[in-house]
Amino acid sequence: MATTPPTRSPELRKDPVTNRWVIFSPARAKRPSDFKSKSPENPNNNSSSCPFCIGNEHQCAPEIFRVPPDPNWKLRVIENLYPALSRKLDHPNGQNDDSSSELSGLGWVVAGFGFHDVVIETPVHSVQLSDLDPSEIGDVLIAYKRRIEQIKQFDSIKYIQVFKNHGASAGASMSHSHSQMLSLPIVPPSVSTRLNSMKEHFIQTGKCSLCQVQSKDLLINETSHFFSIAPYASSFPFEIWIIPRDHSSHFDELDNKKAVDLGGLLKLILKKMALQLNNPPFNFMIHTSPIQVTDSELPYSHWFLQIIPQLTGVGGFELGSGCYINPVFPDDAAKILRELNVPI
């Protein structure tokens, strides 16, 4: 007669980076190895009407740049046709400061000046980011860097969020592989919370919280310049962070060599995630420092890339409390992904 394996007891863990409490409740789930996406992403391969495909450039919003700069491009950066913010608001030389904020009877108001861009990662509709080779993914990462360097010339921009939505349930309105960049005139609260939490850890220990991540139980894969982990207080099952080995505060400090190295690791992780979790919809976000970060903040500010496969929903408890319930302990998730062999 088969015996039921013992269930780990629930735990509450606080993430020293995001300052978020997470409840690990494995009794709410099946075995970690059985986790699969219930709605796998099946990309629409109909490219005839897709504005992101090569040959349909005229259907897109204005282009910012392409690589290489000729008709046979490999990637393009364009304006978002339906931007969340307006790059056309009247700001002298794009200048803006705290004096432009106004306190109304209902709260603070800032003019909605900003940039909302799309990075088309490939000219071919059926190709996904994980299908590209490491150097091609590196080119996408360097495109982010190049665009960030352009936007940093505008003093009114305080923070630049790079993100990718893969799959309709993860927020992607287009199936053609792409990512986005949203440049904001404010520093979002979650970014301020992250910096304050990392500062508190630095004051207490004298060390950067991400430089200190050494647990072999949480490690998935590593390269010369980066390592991937299931974070100690993962908010979501099979959440993954990719972290630079060397302390680096700004994503745009990335050079070409490290971009290819990161491209290889990102490809491997996305392939593993697709194979183990039934090709789930996912989001990835690059968490970097605000543009005007001070020198005193650099020792504890460390950028990283976060990947969240969409396996569970967010309910009223999470929305109301800011705490998350995760049915999978991160060391279990890390072990499963670490031991998974994927041909690249």
Give CA 334 to chain center in angstroms. Answer: 18
Distance CA 208, CA 243 (A): 12
Q: What does each C-alpha distance from 178 to 170, 199, 236, 296 come to in angstroms?
A: 13, 34, 23, 35
53 known member of a binding site: yes
Cis, peptide link before residue 68, omega less than 30° from 0: yes
Q: What does each C-alpha distance from 21 to 56, 165, 170, 273 come to in angstroms?
A: 46, 25, 23, 25
Of 178, 201, 250, 287, the catalytic one is 178
> From the DSSP assignment, how many helices (H) and strands (E) are in the chain?
5, 15
Q: Is 178 a catalytic residue?
A: yes
DSSP line for 117-180:
EEEE--S-TT--GGGS-HHHHHHHHHHHHHHHHHHTT-TT--EEEEEEEESGGGT-S--S-EEE
Pick from 197, 160, 200, 164: nearest CA to 179:
164
The secondary structure element, H or E, covering residue 195 is helix 189-205
Contact 126, 45 (CB under 8 A): yes
Q: CB neighbours of 332 closer than 8 A, spacing ≥ 6?
A: 32
The dihedral built from the CA positions of residue 38, 312, 229 and 41, taken in this order, carries a sign that is: positive
Contact 302, 17 (CB under 8 A): no
60 known member of a binding site: no
Q: Which residues are annotated as a binding site?
A: 50, 53, 125, 176
Q: Which residues are annotated as a binding site for Zn(2+)?
A: 50, 53, 125, 176
- Tell me which residues are annotated as active site: 178
